[in-house]
Amino acid sequence: MILPAEWSPQQATLLTWPHDADIWGNQHAAVQQTFSHLIALIARFQPVILVIPPRFDRHIILAKLQRFDTADPTQIYFFEALSNDCWARDHGPIGVHSENGLEFLDFRFNGWGEKFPSQLDNRITRDLYRQGALGSHPIHTLPFVLEGGSIETDGCGTLLTTRRCLLSPQRNPGLAQHEIEAKLRQWLGVDRFLWLDHGALEGDDTDSHIDILARFCDPETIVYTTCSNPSDSQYDELCRMKQELESFRDCNGEPYHLFPLPIPRPIHDGQGRRLAATYANFVITNGQVIVPVYNDPMDQIALETLQRCFPDRRIAPLDARSLIHQGGSLHCVTMHIPAENTPDGHD
């Protein structure tokens, strides 16, 4: 079993349409515009599997997509399922390669430790499978809570994650770290674990998902969220996280090449709550990296840094300010579907 890296070939990207105006409030129109732009960008390079509510008028979405030059409606495949919300990274299937080919793992999703309703989201993967959205590949429904945003892999057997999330008692109570590692070795084929203890961001409901903190760009390179302002309330946590990353070694025993991603100026919601704005929540597709931006001077630095880390991919900025009002960003609302290649070709 091999958990492929996100930069490996993909056959599609999954998204779940943000249909619930009650959840998004005055951001609902803006977030649907963000989704439409994101779908158009992805569809330039690969198919999009889009989950919509039953009997929802898909022409509403197609009309929104027409505003973008990159939109290709023939690349959009609609499937119907009930959903609580739109965070496909955490309720979508995790694709792995076995000796028999591509397989899908359907882990439990419980609303980030039972913080939010999740019963409908927890059924989406099985609903997609029954409709043929995932092809004829085997699907395994597992009695273990795991969100896609909580794990990062180099595609070579290394898993980067945080103790604050995976060891949360609201997810898999009673399981110690070594027991969780044993299960992930079995299901994901990983054999090295890099655990972070620091890096908590304000406004984050996920208990420190790794995809807002640190991401692999290749097996020797990690980009990470950093703060250079000692008066910022997140400064100490992010400095400690940097020290942890500096202590890690790659699969060859060498220190990682580390590239800092600055945080933008603090962004707050209408109640004064700081939102978890980070550039680490980028989306990798075939030939492209879509980067969240925030109309901030740090945007350009983040884009240039990621271009150095992904020299063979187009870097596409996308304003994510509407999304962070509900605690996530671009990577959080997407789940990549790996290509149907064999383990020998996963890189």
The stretch 57-62 carries a mean pLDDT of 94
The stretch 78-83 carries a mean pLDDT of 97
- Closest of 194, 312, 181 to residue 244, by C-alpha: 194
d(CA 44, CA 47): 8
**pLDDT at site 347:** 40
Q: For residue 69, what pLDDT band results from cuts at 50, 70 and 90? A: confident
Between residues 344 and 253, which one has the greater pLDDT? 253
Statement: residue 186 has pLDDT above 90: yes
**pLDDT at site 345:** 39
Q: What is the pLDDT of residues 296-329, one digit of tens each?
A: 999 999 999 999 999 999 999 999 999 999 989 9
Query: Is residue 67 situated within a structural domain?
Result: yes
Query: Using an 8 Å Cβ cutoff, are 55 and 130 in contact?
Result: no
Query: Is residue 263 situated within a structural domain?
Result: yes
The stretch 15-42 carries a mean pLDDT of 95
**pLDDT at site 252:** 94
pLDDT above 70 coverage of the chain, percent: 98
Residue at token pair 């515009």: 33
**pLDDT at site 146:** 98
Cite the active site residues.
Answer: 332
Mean pLDDT of the chain: 95
pLDDT above 90 coverage of the chain, percent: 94
Statement: residue 72 has pLDDT above 50: yes
CA atoms within 13 A on the CB side of 99: 0
Statement: residue 127 has pLDDT above 80: yes
Q: For residue 343, what pLDDT band results from cuts at 50, 70 and 90? A: very low
β-pair type (214-218, 192-196): unpaired
d(CA 305, CA 158): 23
The stretch 238-254 carries a mean pLDDT of 97
Statement: residue 172 has pLDDT above 50: yes
Helix residue ranges, H only, 167-263: 177-188, 235-247
Q: Which two tokens stand for residue 33?
A: 């515009």
Query: Is residue 339 situated within a structural domain?
Result: yes
- Measured in whole angstroms, how far is the alpha carbon of residue 10 from the centre of its chain? 14
The stretch 32-48 carries a mean pLDDT of 96
The CATH number that applies at residue 268 is: 3.75.10.10
- Measured in whole angstroms, how far is the alpha carbon of residue 229 from the centre of its chain? 27
> DSSP per residue over 301-328, as a string?
HHHHHHHHHSTTSEEEEEE-TTGGGGT-
Other C-beta atoms closer than 10 Å to the C-beta of 259 total 16
The stretch 24-32 carries a mean pLDDT of 94
**pLDDT at site 346:** 38
Query: Is residue 3 situated within a structural domain?
Result: no
In 3-state terms, what secondary structure has residue 196?
A: strand
Query: Is residue 1 situated within a structural domain?
Result: no
Other C-beta atoms closer than 10 Å to the C-beta of 115 total 13
The stretch 170-197 carries a mean pLDDT of 97
**pLDDT at site 249:** 97
Residue at token pair 């043929």: 132
Where in the sequence is the domain holding 318, given as residue range(s)?
10-345
**pLDDT at site 166:** 98
Total structural domains within the chain = 1
Q: For residue 167, what pLDDT band results from cuts at 50, 70 and 90? A: very high
Query: Using an 8 Å Cβ cutoff, are 81 and 122 in contact?
Result: no
Q: What is the pLDDT of residues 256-265, one digit of tens each?
A: 999 999 999 9
Look at the pTM and tell me if it is higher than 0.85. yes
d(CA 323, CA 275): 10
Statement: residue 342 has pLDDT above 70: no
The stretch 133-141 carries a mean pLDDT of 95
**pLDDT at site 71:** 73
Q: For residue 198, what pLDDT band results from cuts at 50, 70 and 90? A: very high
Query: Is residue 2 situated within a structural domain?
Result: no
